[in-house]
Amino acid sequence: MSLLIIFLVMVCVSIYVGTMIIISTNKREGKWGINTDTDKLVCPKCGKKALENRKPYNLQQLLWGGWTCKNCGCVVDKWGKEIRKE
């Protein structure tokens, strides 16, 4: 009986996470989505195209995607939007 409950909980969590990824991808915002248009990314400040092989410069970029523009130093998320330090 307890294995059935564990299985059902795992299925529900998987469905929830999958739904969050799909919603974020369609809205093109948030941390959970998958950006498939990485070849179209440009820096919002200087307009320079993002490199194909990007090196993460901080933990946020490593975990959630994004890049730092080599031309102007602008920090950009995986959707191509500037991340402002607060």
| Residues 23-81 pLDDT 10s | 766 666 667 667 766 677 888 888 888 776 777 788 888 888 888 888 888 888 888 88
Which tops the pLDDT comparison, 6 or 77? 6
**Bridge partners of residue 42, in order along the sequence:** 49
pTM (global) more than 0.85: no
Banded model confidence at residue 86, pLDDT cuts 50, 70, 90? low
Asked whether 80 and 41 are in contact (CB, 8 A), the reply is yes
How confident is the model at residue 55, as a pLDDT?
78
Domain parsing of the chain, residue ranges:
1-34, 36-86
**What is the rounded average pLDDT of the residues 6-18?**
92
